[in-house]
Amino acid sequence: MCLLYVYVNDDPNESNYRLILANNRDEYWDRPTKPLAHICDHPNCFSSQDQQPGSEGGTWLAMSTDGKIGILTNILGHLSTDKQSRGNLVNDYLMSQQSGKDFIDQVVAPCKDRYNGFHLMLLDLSEEKSRFKHFSNKCDEEGLLDRGFFAVGNSILPSKPWRKCRIGKENFESIVNKRMKEPCNNEELVSDLHNLMSDPIRHGVDELLQDQGQSAGKDEETMSDLSAIFVNSRHTRYGTRTQSFIMVDHSGRCEFRQMCLETPVDPDNFQWRTDVQHFNIDKLNKL
């Protein structure tokens, strides 16, 4: 499971930030994962990487220094054991020379049935005008966002999110609207976003979560745990274990900050590790 909030605005007169992204990765606490770093043999690409046997090298979020970003969220539902790992889709996009639309049309869509349910979001900041492309193999809601706010979680339809995703988006918009006109201060912005993405309040099992949870074989306690922005399911040792924040200004300066729970995770004493990458988006600076 993952939760994503994005703000995109290419007009420097309206916002000091071109991109603000906040993401939670929910996963089993004991699943092995490498921290944020260069992807092997691709020094211009950054991500955390799954180390689970059979899914090695996959990721849910990655960014390259030429401005390409890929994000993957899973759709809660029945899991077929004969499907391919979804985590390679993000890396394959970053390492390709294709636009987000071409990558989806030529690579992802033709083989969409090989994977369990997912939402794939692709963004390219290398051009003056951003293109934020969404694709899912479980619904027909494809979209192209040029500016504004976007949120997606683990519901089947982004337009019909779980309650926690909707409430979180409202709070994300409030944070961004407060900061967008101020001089860029990533420390204060990340502090606000971290507090948002660490909200443990359970917002109740709405009808959408109930239906999907039952399809996935989840019990009532687990579904209640999943109704929080910050998931903490002690009885299954599952929850929010990684938070990612990406901020890009209009000159192409980027900060990619990731906070991961130290392992082995102690549910009575969460300890965070923070990794940060700073770089300038290459192609944007050459325009």
Neighbours of 7 (CB within 10 A): 23
Number of structural domains in the chain: 1
- Distance of alpha carbon 205 from its chain centroid, rounded? 22
pTM of the entire structure? 0.95
Could you read off the pLDDT of 151-193 as tens digits, one per residue?
999 999 999 999 999 999 999 999 999 988 888 889 999 999 9
pLDDT tens digit sequence for 96-147? 999 999 999 999 999 999 999 999 999 999 877 887 899 999 998 777 677 8
CA distances (Å), 102 to each of 96, 108, 130, 133, 287, in order?
10, 9, 15, 10, 22
Over the stretch 13-58, which tens digit does the pLDDT of each residue have? 999 999 999 999 999 999 999 999 888 778 899 999 888 888 888 8
Q: d(Cα 114, Cα 56) in Å, to the nearest integer?
A: 17
The structure tokens listed for 135 are 């694709």
Q: What is the CATH number of the domain that holds 109?
A: 3.60.60.10
Q: Give the C-alpha separation, 269 to 116, whole Å.
A: 33
Q: Which domain holds residue 57?
A: 2-285
